[in-house]
Chains A and B, each alone.
Chain A
Amino acid sequence: GIQVEQSPPDLILQEGANSTLRCNFSDSVNNLQWFHQNPWGQLINLFYIPSGTKQNGRLSATTVATERYSLLYISSSQTTDSGVYFCAVERTGNTPLVFGKGTRLSVIA
């Protein structure tokens, strides 16, 4: 099956710093999503981005489908950005999402 690798596995930032999270996948995909899991376990959908670039406030994401990777940018990080960020991909239309193991982000004041 398709492999999804996220890096780095852990990241510690000072408040206000910027960061880039990476997601590599092993095959072409029909769907790619970025999620943030908050400390209470809730998974929040950040971006649906099988290709191209999207921005939402301090967060933006870029997927280069031909090179099989996606990047999540967090600018001016805040303590509320802490949690685990997951990348998940769908190999073909209407097959279940396959998740990476996540990047655990800790933002300290």
Chain B
Amino acid sequence: DVKVTQSSRYLVKRTGEKVFLECVQDMDHENMFWYRQDPGLGLRLIYFSYDVKMKEKGDIPEGYSVSREKKERFSLILESASTNQTSMYLCASSPGLDGYGYTFGSGTRLTVV
């Protein structure tokens, strides 16, 4: 089975800190995604990547950046964490082929205080 691993299950950070959320997949998938999930708002796309060193903005990229230096790893960076970035962050990967869907990691629940 495809495995998508997010480095932390829970994180607590202070306002203004630089925060790195790491995501690694082990099935050579081309595509990787970062979503955030908030009550009543569902999942919203932050950034995605279809290839190494490639990145595209999603629906809510403000306050975030990403890095994809290797195919298997997609990092989400909060340059200066703010309390409104307290959320559940979910990473996903997909092969980008018809018939194959997304696989999600277990999520990182980030609290910014």
Contacts and interface: CB of A to CB of B under 8 A. Distances in A.
Interface stretch (B16-24, B63-71, B72-80, B92-100): B92-100
Interface residues of A, number: 21
Contact of B42 (A30, A33, A102): A102
B98 A93 contact: yes
Interface in A74-105: 86, 88, 93-94, 96-102
Interface stretch (A17-25, A38-46, A56-64, A65-73): A38-46
Contacts of A100: 42
B31 A86 contact: no
Contact-residue bracket for chain B: 20 to 34
Interface in A10-36: 30-31, 33, 35
Interchain residue pairs A-B with the least CB separation, the first 7: A43-B104, A48-B101, A101-B42, A99-B43, A41-B107, A33-B101, A42-B106
10 contacts: A45-B101, A48-B101, A94-B96, A96-B58, A97-B92, A99-B35, A99-B44, A100-B42, A101-B41, A101-B42
